[in-house]
Amino acid sequence: MQAGGVNSDFCLLTSDFSKYMLSFIVRRFLSLIPVVWGIATIVFVLMYLVPGDPARLMAGQNASPQTIEALRAKMGLDRPVHERYVLFLASLARGDLGYSYRQRRPVSEVISERFPATLKLALASILIALLFGVSAGIIAARHHGGVLDYGVMGLSLLGISTPVFWLGLMLIVVFSVWLGWLPVGGYGESGDILHLLLPALSLSAISIGYFARITRSSFLEVMRQDYILAARARGIPESRIICRHSLRNAAIPLVTVVGTNLAGLLGGAVATETVFAWPGIGRAIYDAILVRDLPVVEGGVIFLAFVFVVSNLGIDLLYAWIDPRVRLTGYSGTGGEL
Amino acid sequence: MSRGKRRSFTMRIGMVLVLLLVVSAIGADFLAPYDPYKVDIGAVMLAPSAEHPFGTDYLGRDVLSRVIYGGRISLAIGVLAVLISGLIGTVIGATAGFAGGWVDEVLMRLTDIVLSFPTALLALAVMAIFENPTVGKIFIVLGLVGWANIARLVRAEVMAIKERDYITAARSVGAGPLSIVIRHVLPNTLGTLIVALTLGVAGNILTEAWLSFLGLGAQPPVPSWGAMITEGQFFLTTRPWVCAFPGLAILLTVLGFNMLGDGLRDVLDPRLKRTIQ
């Protein structure tokens, strides 16, 4: 009887648990809608305010008035604003980001062609930042108050304050021009490691700084906990305490910071890809800025914003999975600065 | 002991860097050795020397003078933009925190949405629309996109403060809500606000440099640090100093504001953890 009671309690607990998790996921997905809608609306308002006739720009210089008129009708430009707004949202929902004036093809095509390079650069930067940032943070925490701590914290502040595009240029001067070790830029055959190294390194500078700081402070927090003291008392070696007991708990705040940093990373990628002639979305946006090919600029920004929002959703779910407390209180994601 | 020492050390360096910028920005007319716009075809691309400590650019303009005048632009944009975001954020945060209920709910939902925007990209999307982006447009755009985290901070402070006894006391003697907020609540949020604004200046300067580098900010020949790097990058391999010095100026300035903000946080708001987030 008693055993049955305990068992049913346990079942209740687990079913509550999955119910909470489910409602958390649903809530988080729903919170995605106003953000994406908000970004889309802002971009629509901007595009509507642009002087100049998109149909004329698209038809080219030698088009006849009839062609332009037909194009206007086809693009829905002759309709009232609210209808155009609905049309815009509907086509966006289908993944249609407009048509490039210059490249004469859908923006979505440009983006899907360029996305792999950006993804590769962003992932490489995050990996580098995690590797250096987390190790630096642990070193600083282990030598709390010592010279190494000062050094790491000073360097991380320096990293946070670095204009990434300028760092990229300086890395080119040192490693490509003076030392001649690495290529000045470009993608090579398929974005190999030699071409990837400098852009990824310069893009990761800011994240390294943030990761080091957050790792250090959460590590110091964790090391003060009783269970670490208990582990020490049991004679567990220090390296094992760091790897098994501290790192796991210190990782929780780190996960959020990775998410907030993504905004800076994607923004920084626009400049970094420009500096290194890296054929990603950022470079496409820059090239489009130069020739005022606005659909590519705005489509690219909407897409990057979407990537940011979706990754943060993924990170929130990951976070809820690591830290059960979040599921109950309903944590919401935050934005990041460049 | 050592922590306290480091705090004041960080803040002191930050203060020196910021003061250096402020002084050189205000006194640019006296400090700059040359006219930043003066083209000298006879002195193109000179390496740093006693005559031109930072060298000259492709039009023979003195890089040091341009860096000094560039500080004016960066400082003006950084500070003005942060004042706009500070004003919007404070009004929204204080209203939400003090009113509570559905007002709070609506305003904080809005803030959450803006917070989950990648704001720099949003600023890029807006700046790209203008056919001639200028310095004036940048600070307005940056000011309009950067208020959300300030609103959240102010709201949290106001919520905590409004339960204190002295607010109850003010209310009981018949003070209206607006007068309570302005005279009693807001002055107590000042510490948090100053820290957020100082760090905001750093972020804005970095974003302005980034936008100007992409050609979406100050246009040549205006001596903005970001635009100077754009112009210099074409000669990067042979004349790296044209890029190096403006970038160094950005780095030191942003570092200064970050250190100052970080140090101020420890002094003004010891409850917060020592991280820039």
**Residue of A36, A45, A161, A175 for testing the chain B interface, max B β-carbons within 10 Å:** A161
Q: What is the C-alpha to C-alpha distance for residues B100 and B34, in angstroms, rounded to an integer?
A: 57
Give the amino acid at B197: L
Quick: pLDDT tens for B214-258.
888 888 888 889 889 998 888 888 888 888 899 999 999 999 999
pTM given for the model: 0.85
Q: What is the C-alpha to C-alpha distance for residues A218 and A210, in angstroms, rounded to an integer?
A: 12
Which residues of chain A lie closer than 8 angstroms to B7, CB-CB? none
Split at pLDDT 50, 70, 90, the class of A51 is: low
Q: What is the C-alpha to C-alpha distance for residues B261 and B276, in angstroms, rounded to an integer?
A: 9
Contact B77, B222 (CB under 8 A): no
H helical segments located in A184-235:
193-223, 226-233
Does any CB of chain A come closer than 8 Å to the CB of residue B26? no
Listing DSSP states for A62-116 in one string gives T--HHHHHHHHHHHTTTS-HHHHHHHHHHHHHTT---B-TTT-SBHHHHHHHHHH
Write out residues 57-116 of B within 8 Å (CB-CB) of A.
109, 112-116
Give the amino acid at B16: V
ipTM: 0.86
Q: Do A213 and B115 touch (CB under 8 A)?
A: no
Quick: pLDDT tens for A205-241.
999 999 999 999 888 888 778 888 888 888 888 788 8
- Name the stretches of chain B with pLDDT < 50: 1-2, 273-277
Contact B227, A269 (CB under 8 A): no
Q: Indicate whether A332 pLDDT > 50.
A: no
Give the amino acid at A314: G
Distances (CA, A) of A23 to A18, A36, A144: 8, 21, 41
Q: Determine how many CB atoms are found less than 10 A away from the CB of residue A58.
A: 20
Beta bridge partners of A99: A106
pLDDT given at position A333: 37
